Structure 1
Amino acid sequence: MDNAAQAVMHEYKDICLAFGESDEFSFLFRKSTALYNRRQAKILTTITSLFTSSYVLHWPQFFPDTPLKYPPSFDGRLVVYPSAKEVRDYFAWRQADTHINNLYNTIFWALVQQGGETTAQAHATLRGTVSGTKHEMLHSRFGMNYNSIPTRYRKGSVLIRERISAESSISQPSEAEGDAAAPSSGEQTARTLGQRAEKKSEARKRLSVLHCDIIGDEFWQQRPHLLE
């Protein structure tokens, strides 16, 4: 899932953030995007189809011994939010849902795989329980601290374009670049410099997969450009 989302973000530079959990991914486009003249149907169908085809294409990379038995599919929807507040509220909602679902699934399968309950019995055991009860049940019955579970499962996956230091992105010009650095006209000079600046700007960003909190303020305060 993370790999398919990265493929989408590599193709569409106007996507500045993605969040994934379970069988879903959410993509945030820059407010100023003019992709496909902002045609909703065009954006929605191309993003969904690229995500699906990338998922199928790279399946063998992650599951070499488990061939696909039927073609997977993903649906999609596109929503325009009025302000940065609603955008943050949306992603906070998705991450809260990640926690709720993962906590339930963790104790559910502990009851089945370690506690000897059937799936029906496990559902009945958990019916009406609150978060604190589930935490206590994991600890007292199975000696498990929920907070020790990897953050990937508790918080989902956050994909962003991280800015990296200029020093790490600067490389020595190639021989071909050296030839191009001595153009015969001012116009060629401007074009060459513009191309180099564009390449450097792109080189100073990398696509990162994080497993961190996006409900609080810290994530957004450190990356104000996401909501500009």
Structure 2
Amino acid sequence: MKFDDFDKRMRVYEQSIDQYIVPGMYIVARLDGRSFTKLTREICKFEAPFDTRFRDLMVDTTKHIMNCGFKVLYGYTESDEISLLFSPDNSVFANKVRKINTILAGEASGYFSLALGKAVCFDCRVVPLPNIELVKDYFLWRQEDANRNALNSWCYWTLRKEGMSKNEATQYLRAKSIAFKNELLFARNINYNDVPQWQKRGVGIYSKEYVRQGYNPISEKVVSVKRKSFEADYELPIAEKYSAFIGSFLAAKY
């Protein structure tokens, strides 16, 4: 059998479950760290409930994968997860789901592993959204998840540091209200309102233009050149203001 015929016959099986995001859909990709609870608590022993070293690793990883070939307008990270908002005109790999998932997961895993000095793994899923309002809701949802996780983490680790076991602290907080958890912290001189915003709201990453002075060797003149850099926002707005903030990335482009 000629190779071309052989290749064509076998690729049918290889591509049999390939998916593509249909035109007109907005795309968000979300990455999650695999077994990061064990990594942060047992292997690396990061500070609990939050550690700026881990935060910075997540922020730097987000910046890296925002610049690895896809058109990404906005990145968001909280805890061990990263969400990326793709530009509506992204056409890299024709928006093939397999390519998006594997490349982003591979890039994030490789970058984080090298930065940490230990092997780690991320998974990735593609979230297709049919309109801008659902894009806004997606990021509001992840921000609310960050807030709930932050409150729970502060309560859990406060109890653990007082001597409770894992099971005791978990059971003590089970089904407790937000008001109860706030009061638990307040009784120990911890005002949840004073907790750093990035812990409760996550961190946003987006590109900003700046002007840099350069030298043109041909004209022998100093020239101004526009460049882009990624900026991490550690004090994101919430609720309606955050919704408008997310919408601005799409409105500014399209």
TM-score by length of 1: 0.76
Q: Which amino acid aligns with 2:241?
A: E
**Cα distance change of structure 1 residues 136 and 98 upon mapping to structure 2, 3 Å threshold:** same
Aligned-partner SS, 1:133: helix
Q: Distance in 1 between matches of 2:70 and 2:108?
A: 15
3-state SS of the aligned residue for 1:89?
A: helix
- Residue 92 of structure 1: how far off its partner (Å): 0.5
Gaps in structure 1 of 5+ consecutive residues = 61-67, 181-195
Partner of residue 151, structure 1: 197
How far did residue 224 of structure 1 move?
5.0
Q: Distance in 2 between matches of 1:109 and 1:153?
A: 14
Show CA shifts across 1:71-129 (max 9, x none): 2111111121111111110010001000101100101110110x322222111211111
- Once residues 107 and 175 of structure 2 are traced to their aligned partners in structure 1, the CA distance between those partners, rounded to angstroms, is 40
Alignment of 1:1-228 (within 5 A): 1-12=58-69, 14-60=71-117, 68=118, 71-113=119-161, 115-140=162-187, 142-164=188-210, 169-176=211-218, 178=219, 200=226, 203=227, 205-219=228-242, 221=244, 225-227=248-250, 228=254
Q: How far does residue 220 in structure 1 lie from its aligned partner after superposition?
A: 5.3
Deviation of the 1:131 alpha carbon: 0.8
> Aligned-pair distance for 1:223?
6.8
Task: Report the CA distance between 1:157 and its aligned residue.
Answer: 1.3
Take 1:59 and 1:122, find their aligned partners in 2: how far apart are those partners? 30
Seen in structure 2, the aligned counterparts of structure 1 residues 2 and 102 have a Cα distance that, compared at 3 Å, is same
Q: Give 1:51 shift.
A: 0.9
How far off is 1:10 after superposition?
2.4
- Whole-Å Cα distance in 2 between the matches of residues 223 and 121 of structure 1? 40
* SS at 2:90 equivalent: coil
Distance across 2 between alignment mates of 1:172 and 1:46: 34
Supply the distance in 2 between the matched residues of 1:123 and 1:9 (Cα, whole angstroms): 36
Structure with the largest fraction of helix = 1
* Distance in 1 of aligned mates of 2:91 and 2:248: 17
- The answer to which of 212-221 and 145-154 deviates more is 212-221
Over 3 Å counting, the alpha-carbon distance change for 1:31 and 1:179 in structure 2 is: same
Seen in structure 2, the aligned counterparts of structure 1 residues 224 and 22 have a Cα distance that, compared at 3 Å, is closer
- Equivalents in 2 of 1:55, 1:135: separation in Å? 34
Q: Where do 5+ consecutive residues of structure 2 fail to align?
A: 1-57
With CA pairs under 8 Å and 6+ residues apart, which has the higher RCO, 1 or 2? 1
TM-score, with length taken from structure 2: 0.69
Counterparts of 2:240 and 2:143, CA distance in 1: 14
* Residues 17, 160 of structure 1: 8 Å contact kept: yes
Per the TM alignment, residue 49 of structure 1 is displaced from its structure 2 partner at its CA by: 0.6
C-alpha contact 2:77 2:83 (8 A) present in aligned 1: yes
Aligned partners of 1:173 and 1:220: how far apart in 2? Answer: 42
Q: Percent identity?
A: 24
* Cα distance, 1:171–1:223 mapped onto 2, change above 3 Å: farther
RMSD: 2.3
How far did residue 179 of structure 1 move?
Answer: 6.4
